[in-house]
Amino acid sequence: MAPRIQNQIVSNSLLPYLSSSSTSSSFTSLSSRPRRSCRSFSSTVAPQTRLRNQMFLWLRQEAAELKHHTPGETNYLTSKAEAARGYVGDPRPFPQNIHYCSESILSEELRTEIYNRVVKQKKSVRAVSVELKVDMRRVAAVVRLVELEKRMKEQGKLLALPYARAIHEMVPTTPLRHYDPSTHEEINDLPVHRLTNPQIFYPVSESRQFNRVDAGRVFSAAPALEHEQAAKDAVDPSETISRITQNPSHIEVVGKGEDEHQVLQPADVRIPHPHMVASRREQALVPQERAQQIKIYQARLQKEEEADQERKRRSEERKEKQTQRVQPEDSRFEFRINDVVVSQETTGKDGRNARAPGRRYGVPSYDRKKGQVKIPTRVEV
């Protein structure tokens, strides 16, 4: 707030619209009044309370060490206190919030190693994720980011390297270890499926064996499996998991119209790396055959990658067959025409289904609306 103008003296510069006579008369009338002290702000020294004194004492002593950080180490209050006691635990920036822990970021060496293994050594994203203990989505994001940085360098654009170096010096990082890679994050986290949100009371007889496969069918409102099929799947669970993961389009579908969805599969199938479960199961059965287990694991992983590549190839071929390309003569444009089916199944009852072809009339566009997320929120691996 701006200071108040003292009302004892009013000069001509403040009131240019007044005449000289009126100004002089005003000055005479104002000067004849008794002058009072009118200050905008108080100059009285604020009383130093006990907490205030403790704060300034802490700023002069303990906080003086936090003014400049040591490169490569965190500069947290909890880190200083734990180091004084001879114990170094997880870095927690806020002493009063012990449940919050700052996560590590990828070091520059680890990021370069991820890019080299995927691009130069031609390894799959899944294999690199298992080898370096980094999530598949992060591996794909690192490859795209490094490609973008290389493209910017070729175009002569500047990179925010000082900012990146400062961040790497102030936050914990995951180093690169070739022989014993440290775990950067959990690579088999299972997101909560929307079908598991409701709580269902499902009575089961004591003589029936109720497992996760049956629970997934109950959540999906699907009928129970036949006894012969359930017994066949229980004989070799690893083969059952491979059959489902290599052919996800063959999963049973229930529901009609917009409520149509696939049957919820158990956690062994839905995790990002289901082959690791099969490998750990084999290690528990035959712990002595370590070399043979590694060969079986590599063969299973190679089979998974070949199935993924084959599925992508068939999808591209199917799209190419459905697309008609037209390129006029002496034109640099190419028109791609697809045949579509307009029905209630594709457009929905209100015509606003996401599978509807072309621009959906009557649907508002949120491209310029505030609060809408317009950037990619996930990375397709």
Q: How far apart are CA 203 and CA 222, in angstroms?
A: 15
Q: How many domains is the chain built from?
A: 3
Do 261 and 290 reside in the same domain of the chain?
A: yes
Do 211 and 147 reside in the same domain of the chain?
A: no
> What pLDDT score was predicted for residue 40?
54
Q: Which of the four pLDDT bands, split at 50, 70 and 90, describes residue 345?
A: confident
In a domain, 180, yes or no: no
Do 219 and 158 reside in the same domain of the chain?
A: no
In a domain, 364, yes or no: no
Do 241 and 143 reside in the same domain of the chain?
A: no
Q: Which of the four pLDDT bands, split at 50, 70 and 90, describes residue 360?
A: low
Q: pLDDT tens digits, residue range 96-123?
A: 888 888 888 999 999 999 999 999 998 8
| CB of 131 closer than 8 Å to CB of 117 | yes
Alpha-carbon 352 to chain mean position: 29
Do 169 and 264 reside in the same domain of the chain?
A: no
| CB of 357 closer than 8 Å to CB of 342 | yes
Do 69 and 127 reside in the same domain of the chain?
A: no
Q: How far apart are CA 10 and CA 31, in angstroms?
A: 10
Q: Closest Cα partner for 171 from 89, 96, 103, 95?
A: 103
> What pLDDT score was predicted for residue 21?
44
54-67 burial by CB neighbour count: b if 16+ within 10 A, else e? eeeeeeeeeeeeee
Do 215 and 274 reside in the same domain of the chain?
A: yes
> What pLDDT score was predicted for residue 10?
44
Max intra-chain CA distance, the chain: 113
Q: Which of the four pLDDT bands, split at 50, 70 and 90, describes residue 147?
A: very high
In a domain, 96, yes or no: no
Do 211 and 127 reside in the same domain of the chain?
A: no
Q: Which of the four pLDDT bands, split at 50, 70 and 90, describes residue 15?
A: very low
Do 252 and 221 reside in the same domain of the chain?
A: yes
Do 128 and 79 reside in the same domain of the chain?
A: no
pLDDT (average), residues 257-264: 84
Q: Closest Cα partner for 357 from 333, 377, 339, 375?
A: 339
Which of the given ranges, 138-147, 171-180, 274-283, has the highest pLDDT on average?
138-147
Range of the domain at 142: 105-174
Whole-model pTM?
0.67
Q: How far apart are CA 30 and CA 8, in angstroms?
A: 6
Do 304 and 219 reside in the same domain of the chain?
A: yes
